[in-house]
Amino acid sequence: MTIQIGDRIPNASFARATAEGPKPVNTADIFAGKTVALFAVPGAFTPTCSARHLPGFKDNLEAIKGKGVDVVACISVNDAFVMKAWAESQGIDDESIVMLADGNGDLTRELGLVLDGSGFGLGQRSQRYSMLVKDGTVTQLNIEQGGEFKVSSAEHLLAQL
């Protein structure tokens, strides 16, 4: 079942790249006691994700945080090394947008937001979405329809704040 507004973020683990290598984190580390703007992409370095989705959140970061968001985080079913390389290629540091690697797709499955990209050689990935999470509870949820990029954008989420 797909997560809904009013639901709590399920407990799951993922990784963040650090100077010492991948560091495991869980949902409580990211969401407990914070307001988080989370957006998910089907894959790092893919066209829409690299040209529009991540750059939109980078460009609107201060405006989003100015509306009371503590953390802006990007998640993808990629490994921590890929997420780190993608962030560096986009000029994003650890203090601006938190890059989360859901390498095994654990959180993505728990959220019910798996995208089957096997027809394109991508395997199981995440659907494209954005959400606002307050202290672990989803207060806004914007899931894209197949192949679209509208409601998951930074601009759309910013308008909801």
Which active-site residues does the annotation give? Answer: 49
What is d(CA 111, CA 3) in angstroms, rounded to the nearest whole number? 5
Q: Which residues contact 96 (CB under 8 A, 6 or more apart)?
A: 58, 61, 72
Closest CA to 87 of 124, 41, 126: 41
What is d(CA 135, CA 119) in angstroms, rounded to the nearest whole number? 37
What is d(CA 83, CA 89) in angstroms, rounded to the nearest whole number? 10
Mapping DSSP onto H, E and C, the string for 130-145 reads EEEEECCEEEEEEECC
